[in-house]
Structure 1
Amino acid sequence: MGKHVVVGSGQVGTHLATKLLAQGHEVTVVTRSGNGPAGATRVAADVADRRRLTEITAGADTLYNCVNPQYHRWLTDWPPMAESFLATAEATGAVLVILGNLYPYGPVTGPMTEDLPLASTSPKAQVRAKIWVDALAAHEAGRIRVTEVRGSDYFGPGATDQSYLGDRFLAPLRAGKTIQVPWPTDMPHSWTYLPDVADALIVAGADERAWGRPWHVPTTDPVSFRQLGERMAAILGKPAPRMVQLPWPLVRTLGLFSPMLGELRHVRYQFVAPYVLDSSEFQETFGVRPTPLDVALKATLAS
């Protein structure tokens, strides 16, 4: 069994650490507050402190970057943390596994594959793109071993209130009330199941075929908000829910008072046209399939 350092104990980091522990690994979870699942060594530290992170990671096989600053703080928070991860991976020899996302691709036509250019002109997406570009350059120079795993919008047990399929969606669904969503209700969209994200991170960290390039998390076929609501209602034995889209001017106005809602303008393109993630290369290379959607929805509702 190996030693793994998981930085971040949010909706992905917690699943990842729990799965690694269940496999019998030694797991250290690093957060600013010292939180983490039972069984892990929990350490409170500033991730941007490269000396401290290097000290914690010494002797580890794998270092997982699962941190996620608040979206409106990406420009200030990400650069020093990314530099710390690179320095730590180089100093310790641990494989660096980065939890990425699809933002750097920007608007695309057709399914997203890993060979797409990181062409977004959004400053926040460019910050994320630079994390990977710098890490890949260090890998190609022989300084580190690295891979990045990218998924679409998350759902599942442990999803935070930032998830579009979190409590704001599930609470009215369970109560038989109207579900309000900020985007078109019938647009196909890829949704990535949180336990599948953790599984993909573990595979990518352990298999050298994954190193030196990005991968997409195994993800099921795209479905709309309405289709998700109908399928979950059927699981609960309830009639199909009523669903309405909030007017975009209202969302923009609410964004004046909520930093999270204010940032939605940067991702609007992802929901007003089909947003499709192609994860076939990961599935074919590593023989890993996404959790069937109805199984994932049942687990989401049960949580």
Structure 2
Amino acid sequence: MTLRNEAKLALVIGATGGVGGAVAERLLTAGWRVSALNRDPQTAERTRGRLGLQWVKGDAMVEADVVAAAEGASLVVHGANPPAYRNWAGLQAPMLNASIAAARSVGARLVFPGTVYNYGPDAFPDLTEASPQHPRTRKGAIRVQMEAALARASREDGLKVLIVRCGDFFGPKPGNNWLSQGLIKPGKPIAAVTYPGPPSIAHGWAYLPDVAETMVRLAEDGAGLADFEVFHMRGQALTGDELVAALETVAGRKLPVSRLPWLAVRAVAPFNETMREMLEMRYLWETPVLLDNAKLVARLGAEPHTPIVDALRAALEGLGALPQRPQALAA
């Protein structure tokens, strides 16, 4: 058994967020020591703290802070993401550059969550690791630039990189995702669903504990990975009808479904950055966008996969959107 002080150390940037938090928790259960960078570690530990995390004071935008926090780490997880789609152009590159510098300074592998934003319609419907990346949005162009920076650092400086690409994230904790910010209303029992696209079109979803399991299993197989590796997760490939049916199973009732009012979003977009950025993502709901996981399955044998009803039940519980059972109401 590995002693605690001999366990491998990982630095997680964005441990209060969805991806970073899920990976941090999975690393802890795998026996890693985990440092979590935060500008206000006392508040983070008090309000979002997770048992076993070592909170470190620092700013993900400040390279020196991230480099210092990475001392002794063999893994750096870049889970930082600007909230509500805001100011990607100003924030994404500095944060990633700081993580690259930190991982390079200690010879750690950098783990990065990829998105489907990198792709345009010429790559749809089935995305492989070799699919062309011709984004049609500003956010997509930024994500392509970020992955290009990772590839360049790997090629020129020997940085070890692991990119795991998934569909739309959702999980048991509130966060910046379509499920909690677009489809349902957190904080009260689910009573209706607002769906962004045609209900018959398949869409890729990624349950965060499955994503974390995949990332950790791949990272722990570091000796078998190339310096620069990209894997795609299939995740939960569901039509809108299938997703609603699963939500109804969890809710125990039929749910009225309405289409997201894109005309209203378009009207507000010039005055609201979040609405403007959401509008750019509309094309991802109008055609099937799925990920081919053949490479991942060949590596792991099978992709970690929680049944959709179980995943949605955990997500709704975490969002405070699970209807109370009759006996709970009676009590």
Q: TM-score, normalised by structure 2?
A: 0.83
Report the equivalent of 1:301: 316
Q: Which residue of 1 aligns with 2:65?
A: 52
Name the CA shift for 1:176/1:298 in 2 (closer, same or farther; >3 Å): closer
SS at match of 1:267: helix
- CA gap of 1:176–1:18, structure 2 versus 1, over 3 A, is closer
Match of 1:155 in 2: 170
Matches of 1:225 and 1:44 in 2, distance apart? 42
1:281 matches 2:295: yes
Give, in whole Å, the separation in 2 of the partners of 1:159 and 1:172: 8
Aligned to 1:7: 13
**RMSD across aligned C-alpha pairs, in angstroms?**
2.3
Cα shift readout 1:105-160 (whole Å, capped 9, x = no counterpart): 22233211111122214332222112211211221235311111111101221142
In the TM superposition, what is the alpha-carbon distance from 1:272 to its structure 2 partner? 0.9
How far the C-alpha of 1:251 sits from its partner, in A, is 1.7
| 1:7 to partner: Cα distance | 0.5
Shift of residue 163, structure 1, vs aligned partner: 2.2
- 1:264 maps to 278
Match for residue 140 of structure 1 among 142, 155, 161: 155
Letter in 2 for 1:77: L
Question: Is 2:207 the counterpart of 1:207?
Answer: no
Cα distance in 1 between the residues matched to 2:233 and 2:56: 28
3-state DSSP of counterpart to 1:190: strand
Counterpart for residue 96 of structure 2: 82
Q: Distance in 2 between matches of 1:250 and 1:171?
A: 18
* Deviation larger for 110-119 or 166-175: 166-175
SS at match of 1:255: helix
Cα offset, 1:176, TM superposition: 6.5
Deviation at 1:294, TM superposition (A): 2.6
Matched with 2:28 is: 21
Using the TM superposition, give the Cα deviation of residue 243 of structure 1 relative to its aligned residue in structure 2, in angstroms: 0.5
Change (3 A) 1:170 1:140: same
Tell me how far apart the structure 1 counterparts of residues 119 and 86 of structure 2 sit (CA, whole Å).
19
* Contact map agreement 1:172 1:178 (CA 8 A) in 2: no
Structure 1 200/250 Cα, relative in aligned 2: closer, same or farther at 3 Å? same
Contact 2:18 2:171 in 1 (8 A): no
1:32 corresponding residue in structure 2:
39
Residues 184 and 194 of structure 2 are in contact (CA less than 8 Å); yes or no, is this contact kept in structure 1?
no
User: Are 2:103 and 1:96 equivalent residues in the alignment?
Assistant: no
Quote the offset at 1:59 in angstroms: 1.0
2:142 is aligned with 1:127:
yes
What is the TM-score with the length of structure 1 in the denominator? Answer: 0.90
CA pair 248-147 structure 1, distance change in 2 beyond 3 A: same
1:234 matched residue in structure 2: 249
In the TM superposition, residue 174 of structure 1 has moved relative to its aligned partner by 7.5
Moved more, 7-16 or 127-136: 127-136
Q: How far apart are the structure 1 equivalents of 2:27 and 2:95?
A: 23
| Other structure's SS at 1:260 match | helix
Tell me whether 1:67 sits opposite 2:74 in the alignment.
Answer: no
* Structure 1 residues without counterparts, runs of 5 or longer: none
Gaps of 5+ in 2: 1-6, 319-331
What is the Cα deviation at residue 168 of structure 1?
Answer: 5.4
Rounded to whole Å, the distance in 1 between the matches of 2:185 and 2:136 is: 36
Alpha-carbon distance between aligned partners in 2 of 1:291 and 1:258, rounded to the nearest angstrom: 36
Cα displacement string for residues 148-195 of structure 1 (whole angstroms, at most 9, x for unaligned residues): 1111101221142x3222265444997574422333333211111110
SS at match of 2:98: helix
Whole-Å separation in 2 of the counterparts to 1:253 and 1:274: 26
Aligned length: 300
Amino acid at match of 1:148: I
Q: Distance in 1 between matches of 2:82 and 2:217?
A: 25
